[in-house]
A = this chain, B = another copy of it.
Amino acid sequence: MTGTAEEAAGWWRTAVSETAPDVIRFRGYPVEQLIGRLSLVETAWLLLRGELPTAAQTRLLEAALVASVDHGPQAPSIAAARMAATCGVGLNSAVATGVGLLGDVHGGAGQQCMELLVRVRAAAADGAGLADAVAAELAAVRARRAYVPGFGHRFHTRDPRRDPLVGLLEAAVDDGVVPGDHLAVLLEVERQLSERRGQPVPVNVDGVTAAMYCELGFAPALARGLFVLARSVGVLAHAWEETQAGTRIKGPLPPSFTAPYDGPPLRDLPDDEGDR
């Protein structure tokens, strides 16, 4: 061991919060001033961004988060949390189980859509123009046979969260709260996708919240983080409902079901290990 005490302490240096005896400050603000005056979402903005949001910014962020809280127990994150709640672990472990499933595929479309919006906006601003920049991006997506993240929905023909979120974002652009250039990219992608497909391909909740987070200045990687905060609410509510029901060791199907087996048929272990 050659390290010093200063090195050890400095290893955990942070600009998020200051904790000393009888002192708790978030980004410089004493916690006793924040309690009763900030909402949880304003506090989240402060901790993540370093500065306070305006009231108008807060309204947009609250809306995006409310839209994302839950989509029912068919989502694996919700189902896994409900199953965990029946296995004899704390509610925190049930929530951790659900949140742990919000990976690149189940929870990553928002980040991927933000990256797309940022990329296309930069290309458009570099002189390509909006329509051509979008067309080039969509051609590139088609070339690698990928999905356009944030559009269409396996379940909804038109995601019911689209219109109210787009409406709020358009009003915020009109009011000068946000610049609107990422929203413009989003709506042009929707227009071109729908035109090409010959039917509406509406942006979904991941796409429209991605535009909102871009407009509010969040980094793409935080799309996942904000989605996690929001979906934790639904995960907790479902885990709690399951807790109250009292089921023990809940599997994915009722006990009257068994999983069909399609592997090798019954066979005996060979006698001689040397022959294996």
Interface of A toward B, CB cutoff 8 Å: 1-41, 43-44, 47-48, 50, 52-55, 59, 62-63, 65-67, 69-77, 79-80, 83-84, 86-93, 95-97, 99-108, 154-161, 163-165, 167-168, 221-222, 224-225, 228-230, 232-234, 236-241, 243, 248-270, 273-274, 276
Which B-chain residue is minimally distant from A67 (CB atoms)? B35
Question: Which residue on B lies nearest to A105, using beta carbons?
Answer: B88
B63 touches A16 (CB 8 A): no
Residues A107 and B83 in contact, CB atoms below 8 Å apart: no
In the complex formed, the residue of B with least CB distance to A271 is B37
In the bound complex, what is the Cα–Cα distance between A158 and B24 (angstroms)?
A: 11
Cβ-defined contact, B233 with A44, below 8 A: yes
- C-alpha spacing A250/B62, complex, angstroms: 29
A67:B31 contact, CB within 8 angstroms: yes
Inter-subunit contact A77/B87 (CB<8 Å): yes
In chain B, what residue has the closest Cβ to A227? Answer: B92
- Assuming the contacts A92-B224, A93-B103, asked whether A241 and B15 have C-beta atoms less than 8 A apart, the reply is yes
Measured in the bound complex, the distance between the Cα atoms of B204 and A241 in whole Å is 29
Q: Could you tell me if B76 and A7 are in contact, using CB atoms closer than 8 angstroms?
A: no
Contact of A225 among B13, B168, B240, B267 (CB under 8 A): B240
CB distance from A32 to the nearest CB of B (A): 5
Q: Which 9 A-B pairs have the closest CB atoms?
A: A88-B105, A88-B104, A15-B263, A3-B256, A89-B103, A88-B103, A28-B264, A19-B72, A47-B237
- Is the pair B161, A13 in contact by a Cβ cutoff of 8 Å? no
CA distance A30 to B33 in the complex (A): 36
Whether A35 touches B252, Cβ cut-off 8 Å, given contacts A88-B105, A91-B221, is: no
